[in-house]
Structure 1
Amino acid sequence: MKVLVIEDNESVCTMIDMFFIKEGIQGTFVHDGIEGFERATAEQWDLLIIDWMLPGMDGVTICRKIREEKNNVPIIMLTAKDSESDQVLGLEMGADDYVTKPFSPLALIARIKAVTRRAQYTTQTEEVTDLVETTHFKVNKETREVWLDGVPVENLTPKEFDLLIFFLQHPRQVFSREQILDRVWGYQFYGDERTVDVHIKRLRKKLEKEKQPFFHTVWGVGYKFDELVEK
């Protein structure tokens, strides 16, 4: 796994690199935002880890610019900001996850594995196939291609894709935020469920049609996917 870490704190980089070596992860460390953005867009990476506060260009701007270029590489934000608005902003700009400083290296490794995992959760009764087709959607899980009513959808982040697949495979079933985190992200967010709301909001913006909402809020419970219900 090739991971680019854009972080100006060399002590943090040293700590991360120690755990990367143990996990067999090939880490590249850049300490400037502008250089980090150039490396992120010029080379192929399996994951980007980007600090919020950086010299030259801040991490949120890097994340936004990468997503504007239709680059769907998984992104984890490192941030010392712990307010809800700051964390939501990072997710809104296209980050798949965030880790608040100070953090445990083991927790970061767990997030890395969860964010980059391509295999989807399936129950023993589900048929594992590469192609998922519904009334409006067609998805190839192997190539991670999505079509909505025959039109390619090209701007989904890796975690948005994972979340869409999960809902497509469980139509009209209601899931709590905790269940979605466990089934899609693959681990608990330590009680932090706002990332589900942000990702649902982004999927709604990218996929919903004028008279056809796909992602429905079930008040007091969570969410369900139902493409047969029209306004």
Structure 2
Amino acid sequence: MRLLIVEDEKRLALSLARGLTAEGFAVDVVHDGTEGLHRASEGSYDLIVLDIMLPGMNGYRVCGALRAAGSDVPVLMLTAKDGEYDEAEGLDTGADDYLTKPFSYVVLLARVRALLRRRARTASPVLSVGELSVDTATRRVTLEDTEVTLTAKEFSVLEHLALRAGEVVSKSEILEHVWDFAYDGDPNIVEVYISALRRKLGAQTIGTVRGAGYRLVADRA
């Protein structure tokens, strides 16, 4: 999944990006509100971590502009401010959650995952496709009750396919959601990870729709 961090404290932004990348997310970072709004409007993100006190345009205005444009991407607001009025203003502009600095990274990660599960419109963090089970909370994968060990990037590719189980997902969409904005390598990297997943989960688990993309299927026969 692809996240956007809009945070002008560069050390904090870098720390968050490193942590979230290690968890398997694709992460883009910008340091001012104007660029944040532009990137959020032009890109395809699963969640935005948005600071309130930003140069160019504050977080309230960025969030308000996104909602006015019809964007429903989850927004987790960060701020050094404290108090119920600041929180209320953030939520009133359309933010989905609010976290006051200083905060625990573990708590931020839990909030991010909760918002992503909510957006997926599933009451359970577990995505089941036939005998395959993908737990988005614990990042565990089981196949026929046997746990399968995946790398962080392998899990991210599988998770995106599982969220769209039965549908055809293009290579470009996988790149967009699993690799960050700065990636300019070979787009065939997707095929490398699909091949790795097929070796671990079975060749029939992920089907190829020629000229269109890939599809996670329940029937592995």
TM-score bracket for this pair, using the shorter chain length: 0.5 to 0.7
Instruction: Please give the residue correspondences for 1:53-202 in structure 2 after superposition, counting only pairs within 5 Å.
Output: 53-117=53-117, 118=120, 119-120=122-123
User: Normalising by the residue count of structure 1, what TM-score does the alignment of the two structures yield?
Assistant: 0.52
Q: Secondary structure of the residue that 2:8 maps to in structure 1?
A: coil
Which segments of 5 or more consecutive residues in structure 1 lack a partner in the other structure?
123-141, 144-231
Q: Secondary structure of the residue that 2:78 maps to in structure 1?
A: strand
Which segments of 5 or more consecutive residues in structure 2 lack a partner in the other structure?
126-162, 165-221
Instruction: Point out which structure has higher relative CO (alpha carbons under 8 A, 6+ apart).
Output: 2
Q: Deviations over 1:53-100 (max 9, x none)?
A: 000000000000000011000100001111101001100110000111
Q: Work out whether residues 5 and 17 of structure 2, in 8 Å CA contact, stay in contact via their aligned partners in 1.
A: no
Q: Deviations over 1:122-153 (max 9, x none)?
A: 9xxxxxxxxxxxxxxxxxxx99xxxxxxxxxx
In 2, the alpha carbon distance for the partners of 1:36 and 1:14 equals 15
What does residue 35 of structure 2 align with? 35
- The runs of 4+ residues in structure 1 deviating greater than 6 Å are none
Identity of aligned residues (%): 42
**What displacement does 1:18 show?**
2.1
Q: Secondary structure of the residue that 1:13 maps to in structure 2?
A: helix
Q: Deviations over 1:102-132 (max 9, x none)?
A: 011111100000001021259xxxxxxxxxx
Range moving further from structure 2, 15-24 or 60-69: 15-24
In 1, the alpha carbon distance for the partners of 2:56 and 2:94 equals 20
Q: CA RMSD in A?
A: 1.7
What does residue 195 of structure 1 align with? none
What does residue 47 of structure 2 align with? 47
How many pairs were matched up?
124
